[in-house]
């Protein structure tokens, strides 16, 4: 069983749409959670850390549900530039990181 | 400019020929990691290092070695590469960040990647 599971997509949405991704993790002792963005096999870049209480950064909102062991990312008012693969990342024991295989988003004009 | 650099960016080699991929960071980070990325599998951690001379295995360490003699450098060594090590490799360095409420987390910065093909 994979440590982190994501729907690979692709999610094809029009500009301006709201889109949501979920991710589930298997280790209940996981300590911190992140969403990274990766463009076309380039390096992943941190989009957001996910706080227990949920957090928002502009058009992006991340939520954590520890009881159900899932993390979500909501993107409002999608832009063409949001097209990318979104990676869910779980950190265990501070040094060990587990990545989901990513969810691909295509925002179309 | 704060960055993580990797060299080479692209490498085609043959089975059994030892190679080293270098990784260097200029952010004075204590933590560094190596990952490989394969289609459908996501990034998988190969090795990580918590500080100079302190390294440990990740999830897929077989066939790889690392060393951490200086804080800024964390080379990945393939003593005898095989075709199943054909992959995209990323180095990362990380710093500890504090949550605004409580606790801390380990924020990673990635190098640009090394695309390795073993024939």
CB-based contact, B113 to chain A, within 8 Å: yes
Position A94 scores a pLDDT of 75
Profile chain A (109 residues) by mean pLDDT over runs of 10 residues. Answer: 89 97 89 92 90 87 92 97 96 86 96
Q: State the best of B3, B23, B33, B42 to mutate against chain A, taking most chain A CBs within 10 Å.
A: B42
Determine what percent of chain A is predicted with pLDDT higher than 90: 72
| pLDDT tens-place string over residues B72-81 | 999 999 999 9
Looking at the DSSP bridge assignments, the partners of residue A89 are A34, A99
Are A43 and B101 inside 8 Å of each other by CB?
A: no
CB-based contact, A92 to chain B, within 8 Å: no
Q: Is the peptide bond before B85 cis (omega within 30 degrees of 0)?
A: no
Q: State the best of A10, A25, A44 to mutate against chain B, taking most chain B CBs within 10 Å.
A: A44
The full DSSP string for A75-97 is E-S--GGG-EEEEEEEEETTTEE
Q: State the best of A8, A86, A94, A100 to mutate against chain B, taking most chain B CBs within 10 Å.
A: A94
Are B42 and A96 inside 8 Å of each other by CB?
A: no
Quote the longest CA-to-CA distance of chain B.
Answer: 51
Task: List CB contacts of B11: < 8 A, sequence separation 6 or more.
Answer: B19, B21, B114, B115, B116, B117
| pLDDT tens-place string over residues B58-113 | 999 999 999 999 999 999 999 999 999 999 999 999 887 665 555 566 789 999 99
Are B40 and A101 inside 8 Å of each other by CB?
A: yes
Are B103 and A32 inside 8 Å of each other by CB?
A: yes
Position B100 scores a pLDDT of 55
Q: Which residue of A43, A51, A99 is in closest CB contact with B112?
A: A43
Determine what percent of chain B is predicted with pLDDT higher than 90: 82
């Amino acid at each position: 069983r994979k440590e982190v599971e994501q729907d690979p997509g692709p999610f094809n949405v029009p500009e301006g749409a709201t889109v949501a991704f979920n991710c589930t993790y298997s280790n209940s002792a996981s300590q911190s959670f992140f969403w990274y963005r990766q463009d076309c096999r380039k390096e992943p870049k941190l989009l957001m850390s996910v706080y227990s209480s949920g957090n928002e950064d502009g058009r992006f909102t991340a939520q954590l549900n520890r009881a159900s062991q899932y993390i979500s990312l909501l993107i409002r008012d999608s832009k063409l530039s949001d097209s990318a693969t979104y990676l869910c990342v779980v950190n265990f024991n501070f040094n060990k990181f587990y990545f989901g295989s990513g969810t691909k988003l295509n925002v179309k004009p | 400019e704060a960055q993580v650099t990797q060299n080479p960016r692209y490498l085609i080699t043959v089975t059994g020929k030892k190679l080293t991929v270098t990784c260097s960071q200029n952010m004075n980070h204590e933590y560094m990691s190596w990952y490989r990325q394969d289609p459908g599998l996501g990034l998988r951690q190969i090795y990580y290092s918590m500080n100079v001379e302190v390294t440990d295995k990740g999830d897929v360490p077989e066939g790889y070695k690392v060393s951490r003699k200086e804080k800024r450098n964390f080379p990945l060594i393939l003593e005898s590469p095989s075709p199943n090590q054909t992959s995209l490799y990323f180095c990362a360095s990380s710093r500890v960040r504090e949550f605004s409420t409580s606790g801390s987390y380990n924020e990673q910065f990635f190098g640009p990647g090394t695309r390795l093909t073993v024939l």
